[in-house]
Amino acid sequence: MSNEMNSTLAGKKIMIVFGTRPEAIKLSPVIQALKEDGNFKIVVCSTGQHREMLKQVLDIFNIEVDDDLDLMKPNQTLFDITADSLVRLKGSIEKHQPEIIMVQGDTTTAFTSALAAYYKNVKVAHVEAGLRSYDLFHPFPEEANRRFISVISDYNFVPTGDAKKNLIQEGFSAESIYVTGNTVVDALLQIKVKIDDPNYSEKIKSNFEFKLGQNLFSKKLILITLHRREKFGEELKDLLYTLKDLAEKYPDYNFIYPVHLNPNVVNPVREILGTRENFILTQPLDYLNFLYLMSKCHFIMSDSGGVQEECYVFNKPIIVMREVTERNEAIRAGYAFLTGSDKEIILSRFSEIDSKIDSGFNFFTTENPYGDGKASGRIVEIFRSKSVN
């Protein structure tokens, strides 16, 4: 899109679109900062894919949705989400007439929102731009989504220097790229204040013990998330058997796994891990409870992208059970360890990390590679200082 600009962005209408919990988490501090600045007209649009999970996050940050597209339906596919989102976003854009549409990350919601903006000749601002694994099927479909968005985006708010380098190497103009840090750090630092409050923390702990019927924290606790679409099938089952072997090898540890509700995940999880006594399977947790577990666990095992960023704030090492990661900053910083699905590598890393923690080893000797918690303010300042045609 054209880089010729002749009027300030202040006073422009910005539509901020999200559909999943991670998007809402990372966009909420941006929404707060834009509203506090007072120089912009803000429309908050939710596609409604993760309705209950979204409500939890929006309540934490006191964010109200102006337009709910109500896309949630059982067993929806990528085809459903893509087609339905485009049609309903068209109506929302025509209704609100934004001059900028802001999206976050690499979800199908983010991609279709950017595409709808492009079709309607509305400028696109991409928060957390420039992440790359350079493998279109790991993660799937996220790697393709973020590349698509980059082609359309006018304002690329990248979390790190690595992300900026990726975009420049792909031929995007440096003038459209702004290193801000990751807004998830902004969000987490707000929430951490609550979790660090002794009274609040004790309330969460008591609630866990009541629901689970046991003292979850009487043993070392390993927090697990595992849900990536590209792992569905035999690879996921192999990973679950590896986790079962770990639980058998370490009976004095508790392993807790909030299980994604997708049948491709929950069915094999129940089959393979459901009878293991020290493996605690729960429904998906609200964000505060999940972060509380992160703050109290021994360490983390996950195939999530966002958790690789979040765990730094709580100083928790992470085993990343993926073949590649778009968050190599975490690997270089020394607190994240890429294992793929290889059983022997996972078992070896588990033993190594466990031993180092017990010996007092510090995995967090560098500054947070994802920023200082001021990314949202930088985004607002960039908008205020820029001009637009």
Place of tokens 């360890």: 337
Q: What is the per-residue pLDDT for 387?
A: 56
- Residue 347 CA: distances (Å) to CA of 58, 230, 239, 302: 38, 22, 11, 14
Q: Would residue 73 count as lying in a domain?
A: yes
The residues, ordered by sequence, that sit 6+ positions from 69 with a Cβ below 8 Å of its Cβ are: 45, 46, 47, 48, 85, 88, 89, 92
Q: Would residue 366 count as lying in a domain?
A: no
Q: One of 142, 230, 310, 329 is an active-site residue; which one?
A: 142
Q: Would residue 1 count as lying in a domain?
A: no
Distance CA 121, CA 154 (A): 11
* Residues 317, 379 within the same domain: no
- Cβ proximity of 47 and 71 under 8 Å: yes
- Cβ proximity of 132 and 146 under 8 Å: yes
Neighbours of 66 (CB within 10 A): 13
* Residues 384, 353 within the same domain: no
Domain coverage including residue 27: 7-182+372-388
- Residue 157 CA: distances (Å) to CA of 120, 172, 277: 22, 13, 45
Q: What is the per-residue pLDDT for 211?
A: 81
CA 190 to chain centre: 16
* Residues 24, 153 within the same domain: yes
* Residues 175, 202 within the same domain: no
* Residues 205, 166 within the same domain: no
Q: One of 132, 138, 227, 228 is an active-site residue; which one?
A: 227
**pTM greater than the 0.75 cutoff:** yes
> The tokens of 144 are what?
């393709």
Q: Would residue 42 count as lying in a domain?
A: yes
Burial class, 341, CB count within 10 angstroms (exposed 0-12 / middle 13-18 / buried 19+): middle
Q: String of b and e for 292-311 (b: at least 16 CB within 10 Å)?
A: bbbbbbbbbbbbbbbbbbbb
Q: Would residue 190 count as lying in a domain?
A: no
Q: Does 106 participate in catalysis according to the annotation?
A: yes
Q: What is the per-residue pLDDT for 161?
A: 97
Q: What is the per-residue pLDDT for 120?
A: 98
* Residues 262, 131 within the same domain: no
* Residues 202, 177 within the same domain: no
Q: Does 309 participate in catalysis according to the annotation?
A: no
Among 189, 197, 199, 201, smallest CA distance to 292 is for: 201
Name the phi and psi angles at 320, rounded to 5: -100, 105
Q: Would residue 250 count as lying in a domain?
A: yes
Burial class, 121, CB count within 10 angstroms (exposed 0-12 / middle 13-18 / buried 19+): exposed
Residue count of the chain, please give it: 389
- Cβ proximity of 81 and 65 under 8 Å: no
* Residues 173, 41 within the same domain: yes
Q: Does 143 participate in catalysis according to the annotation?
A: no
Q: Does 248 participate in catalysis according to the annotation?
A: no
How would you classify the pairing of strands 318-320 and 253-258?
unpaired
Q: One of 23, 128, 162, 303 is an active-site residue; which one?
A: 128
Q: One of 96, 260, 276, 298 is an active-site residue; which one?
A: 260
Query: In the 8-state DSSP scheme, what is residue 285?
Result: P
How many distinct structural domains can be found in the chain?
A: 2
Among 245, 254, 232, 211, smallest CA distance to 303 is for: 232
Q: Would residue 365 count as lying in a domain?
A: no
Q: What is the per-residue pLDDT for 228?
A: 85
* Residues 213, 344 within the same domain: yes
pLDDT in 10s for each residue of the chain, 389 residues? 434 344 567 679 999 999 999 999 999 999 999 999 999 999 999 998 777 778 889 999 999 999 999 887 777 889 999 999 999 999 999 999 999 999 999 999 999 999 999 999 999 999 999 999 999 999 999 999 999 999 999 999 999 999 999 999 999 999 999 999 999 999 999 999 989 999 988 988 888 888 887 778 889 999 999 988 888 899 999 999 999 999 999 999 999 999 988 889 999 999 999 999 899 999 988 899 999 999 999 999 999 989 999 999 999 999 999 999 999 999 999 999 999 999 999 999 999 999 999 999 999 999 999 999 999 999 999 998 875 44
Using left for φ > 0, alpha for ψ between -120 and 50, and beta otherwise, residue 14 falls in: beta
* Residues 80, 137 within the same domain: yes
Is residue 267 within a helix (H) or strand (E), and if so which, with residue range? helix 263-273
Q: One of 67, 84, 106, 186 is an active-site residue; which one?
A: 106
> The tokens of 364 are what?
């967090």
336: domain CATH number is: 3.40.50.2000
Q: Would residue 83 count as lying in a domain?
A: yes
Q: One of 51, 96, 147, 229 is an active-site residue; which one?
A: 229
* Residues 60, 178 within the same domain: yes
Name the phi and psi angles at 118, rounded to 5: -60, -45
* Residues 173, 288 within the same domain: no
Distance CA 342, CA 353 (A): 16
> The tokens of 151 are what?
């082609």
> The tokens of 233 are what?
């099938």
AA identity, residue 248: E
